[in-house]
Every structure is written in C-alpha cells, then in structure tokens.
Structure 1
Amino acid sequence: MAKKQKKKQPITARAQPTDAKFKHSRVETARLIRKFHVLNKELAKCKADPQLLKREQEILKEMEAMGGLDWYQKASQLGQSKSRGGDSSKWLIQTLKSHCNELVDLCNKPVKVLDIGAVAPDNYKPYNAWITAKPIDLNPQDPAIQKQDFLQMKPPSNDDKFDIVCLSLVINFVGDPKDRGQMLKHTRDFFTLPSVTGRLHHLFLVVPLPCVNNSRYMTHEHLLKMMGSIGYTRCIHHHFSNKLAYYLFELTGLPNTKHVEWKKKILQDGGGRNNFAVVME
C-alpha cells in the first residue's frame, strides 16, 4: 500500500527561527518573495489605521516566522544569481550603450550610479572603467552595501550627485502607494540640474510586469504620464520581459517641477487584477 502523503503546510504556517538554514529552492524562494510582498502591502494599510493595530502585530509575527527581512533579502539575492537569469543591471548597460552612447562619451567623469535596494555590491564591477556605483539597501546582505533608507536619505551636495538612479524592483516592495510616489519624486533630488551639460540625468526603473499590465490602478501609459508630470518627460527605452517591465527615463525638468495630483483611480477593472498603485500628492 502506498504511503499517504503528508499534507504540506503553507510557508507562513511554518514558524522558522531566523537562524534556521536558508533554503535555496527556486520554488521556496519565489514563494517567500511573493508572500513577503503581500504581507508588506497589508502592513502599510494597518499602519495607516490605528484600529488595525492587532492585525499589524500579527503580520509582523508572521514575517518574523518567515525569517524576516533578512530572509527576503537572501531570496532576492539568490533570485538575481547568474543561474537564475542574472541581475537587471545588464539591461541598463545594454540600453546605455545602444541608446545613450554619445551622452556617455560626453561625460567628463565616470558615470555615477546610485543603486537603491542593491542585493549585491558588484553588479557594476565589470564596467568600473566608466561607471562608479554606490549600492544602498535597508538590510544589506554584504558589508560593501551601505545601510540606508532612501526615503530618509538627504540629497548630497551638487559635486557628489549622481548621473543615474536605479530603482530596480524597489517601489513594488514599498507597501504604501504614497511612499512609492514620494520615492519617485525624491530621485530628482539626487541629480545635478538638467541644465548642467556633460552629465546624465537618468532614472532606471524596474517593476514586476503585472504592475503595469494587470493592475486596476496602473497601466504602462498611465505610468509614462505620471513620470512626465514630475520631470521625466522622456522615456529613452522600455522593455517587457516575461516577468519584468524595464524603463529608462531622462529627467528634463527641474527637480522642483510642479505636477498634478495622481490619486488612486480604477483604470481597468475585472477579476484577477492586482492592486498595485502609485499615488502622488
């Protein structure tokens, strides 16, 4: 008689100490990342409503049982390994070479990159002859990555500002749509003024493809209009892979460019759509 298979428990039902051995299974890491995103979005809603304090504590405990932010970062780091397709910086480099080669050549100094949410410190190391990168993250997995909350990060002096700001799979991790909008606007403060010649003013943005092709509150066209309203009037190039949406924007307006409010509004309804949204006030 065949043995009866033991029913599997959901990952969130399996309490795991944070010092437990991290599992390198493709399925396990993907499940962990998806669940952590869902919980993080719900957590943002709870923090905005004092009546949901009890649920907020339950979510925090559930995240801790999963291994917390540390395990999420380990899963993300594994997800960008060469064996799983590599990191998104490759697309940026290819796009710069094919669409911005003349601009890169005009730079009188190496191109300075602020890599926000970096899961590895050496993504741009193969290109260090013409790129210098500063990797930052909330919970660094490597001592070479600076621990920093970008929303709380003060803009540097003009001499220390950047040519390219990277938000690769970052804003989708932020739970509050208003914080996502604030993060996108905050990127403008890290460039030299667009009137300064010989420098780039580019934002590299990557989000999961369903954020722009299967959301009730966001579409590709809506994102382009929103970005244009805050000064990113030119989308140099975009690309949709099977799972990700890649964008390279150029800042053409001043960092204090005024813009209309972008509220959470249903753009396309129907079953099976997600609730990804960006709000700007």
Structure 2
Amino acid sequence: MVKKETRLKSLSQGRPKIVQSPRAISSKATRTLIRSHHTLEKQKAAAIAKGDEVKAASIARLIEAQGGIKSYQRASLLGQTSERGGDSSKILLEWLEPVLPALKEQAKKTRIRMLEVGALSTTNACSRSKLFEMERIDLNSQEAGIKQQDFMERPSPEDQKDKFDIISLSLVLNYVPDATGKGDMLIRTLKFLKIQERPKGLAECLPSLFLVLPAPCVMNSRYMDETKLEAIMKSLGYALVKKKLSNKLAYSLWRMESDVVKKTATFKKAEIRSGKDRNNFSIVLR
C-alpha cells in the first residue's frame, strides 16, 4: 500500500531562506549539511501537515542542534559559487547562443521576459547579459531586486503582457516537500508562459521552462528517471529542447508547445528502481 502524501499550503515550509556572507566550509561538509538539513526539513514539514506538533518541535530541535538555518544558508550560498559548480544560468545562455542574434534583435523591440523562481542573485549570467527583462522572486529575499514571493501564491497573469518567455526553476522543484506539490508547481508554470508569433529560430526555444535538479533526483531515485520525467513534461505540453547531465546537476530546457493546457495523464509514485541507497524524489500528477 502506498503511503498517502502530505501536502503543504505554502512552499515557505520547504525551501529555506538564504542569507549573505557565507563562511568557508569544505565542499564535502557543504553537501553533508545540505542533505541532512533538507531531510529534516521535509520530516518537519510532513509533521506540521499532519498536525503533529510534538514531532515537529522535536525535529526543529535537531535542526538547531546542527547549526540551524544559518548553517544551511551558508552551505547553500557556497554551493552557488563558481568554484562549486556555480551559476546554472550560464548553461541556459550557452544553449541560447545559436539564437543570440535573434534574441538581440528582439530585445531592441520587445524585451524577452524571464521569471527566475528561487533567485539567489541579481548578478548571474542571464542578468548580466542584458538580453532579458528579469523578474526575480524567492520565498525569503535577501537582496534588493529579488521580490519576496511564493510562486504558488503569485497571482495568475491577467493578460499576455504579464506573462513570460522563459521561466527558470533552478534547484527549486526539489525543495517542494511533497510529490504532489512538485506536480502542482510544474502545472502552474503553464499559466505564466506566453505563446505569440516569434522570429525564425526563437520559436524553436521559446516560450520555455529551464529546469535544474540535483542529478540524483533523476539518476538515483526509486520513483524517477529521465524517461519518466520526459513523459511527465510531455503530458503537460512541454517538448524537450536541450538537456545536460553533470556529476551534480541535471539541466533541461523545455519548450511549451501550446497555451491550451492539455489534460494531464496521471503519474503516481511508482517504484522504478529498487535498492536501499535510492532517494525518494518523485513527481505526482493527479
């Protein structure tokens, strides 16, 4: 029997906020701290969703004993530095390089709008390129130029001018505490992307969703692999444009093919791989 997933009303119980001025710690210690903190936060969120205040308080004490949110924040910021694998938006710009002339020409007329969910910085590669009209949001903004907002609570666009050409979900989906919430987030991206006439070349890659996940989410999960991820995205009306797998991260760019949202297929939390060393990353579409 599959255990019923618990859901959270807000993403604010998932991805912790980020602060600046991280102290230097080793990459191994960074990974260990992030994994441990992430696991405990998921357990605490599940306890909160079930109304188990005693268990939630107990887990909160364990988190504090490991240094609390500040230690996690330092590790998160170090993971974004160039020496640790850094700015994922560089990959997006590399993929868009063949259409840069068209992008630059388009930018003279109407800026290409990008929504960066879970933004950590206003100076990443896409921001510095000056090709895009950037809108950055994060659950707990720590920098001017990043709006403090939960994507799942962001008002739906009223018309085309409020929509975007690109949405970036870089290391965001994996922070959503439950599998159904992950599916809901992917479904919601469809409301924010705009379909319109585009110059030759741009129509092949826009509008699009730039998705970055930790590599183990698709390479070592009991419930997810590249084939299933592509099937999920296809059911939502996305077509794969580019993908890249590194030792740490799985990058992918998905073009939304229509502004008419398809009736999605049902994807449940079904085991694909067995083994005690697998993680439990999963996406559920109802």
Q: If the TM-score is normalised by the length of the shorter chain, which range does it land in?
A: 0.7 to 0.9
1:171-190 matches, within 5 Å, as 171-190=173-192
- Write out the 4+ residue segments of structure 1 that deviate beyond 6 Å after TM superposition: none
Residue number in structure 1 paired with 2:58: 58
1:265 maps to a residue whose letter is A
Output the CA distance in 2 between the equivalents of 1:151 and 1:231: 20
Residue number in structure 1 paired with 2:265: 260
Of residues 235, 239, 251, the one that matches 2:240 is 235
Distance 1:148 1:45, change over 3 A: same
- Contact 2:22–2:78 (CA under 8 A) maintained in structure 1: no
Please, which moves more after superposition, 165-174 or 74-83?
74-83
Distance 1:70 1:167, change over 3 A: farther
- Contact 1:166–1:203 (CA under 8 A) maintained in structure 2: yes
Deviation of the 1:246 alpha carbon: 0.3
Distance 1:159 1:175, change over 3 A: same
Output the CA distance in 1 between the equivalents of 2:232 and 2:78: 32
- Contact 2:209–2:253 (CA under 8 A) maintained in structure 1: yes
Distance 1:72 1:146, change over 3 A: farther
* Offset from partner CA, 1:119-166 (integer Å, 9 cap, x none): 1122123201x2121111111221221111111111233212111000
Residue number in structure 2 paired with 1:93: 93
**Count of paired positions:** 256
TM-score relative to the length of structure 1: 0.83
Say which structure, 1 or 2, has more relative contact order (CA 8 Å, 6+ apart): 2
- Contact 1:40–1:174 (CA under 8 A) maintained in structure 2: no
Work out whether 1:247 is the aligned partner of 2:252: yes
Residue number in structure 2 paired with 1:23: 23
**Higher radius of gyration, 1 or 2:** 1
Work out whether 1:217 is the aligned partner of 2:219: no
Output the CA distance in 1 between the equivalents of 2:175 and 2:235: 23
Of residues 169, 178, 196, the one that matches 1:167 is 169
Of residues 244, 256, 276, the one that matches 1:271 is 276
- Contact 1:44–1:176 (CA under 8 A) maintained in structure 2: no
Work out whether 1:32 is the aligned partner of 2:33: yes
Work out whether 1:104 is the aligned partner of 2:97: no
* Offset from partner CA, 1:237-280 (integer Å, 9 cap, x none): 00001110000000013253211111111112122111111111
Q: CA RMSD in A?
A: 2.2
2:117 maps to a residue whose letter is I
* Offset from partner CA, 1:104-129 (integer Å, 9 cap, x none): 3674422211111111122123201x
2:166 maps to a residue whose letter is I
TM-score relative to the length of structure 2: 0.82
Identity %: 38
Output the CA distance in 2 between the equivalents of 1:70 and 1:114: 27
Work out whether 1:83 is the aligned partner of 2:83: yes
Distance 1:165 1:273, change over 3 A: same
Show structure 2 runs of 5+ residues with no match: 1-18
Residue number in structure 2 paired with 1:7: none
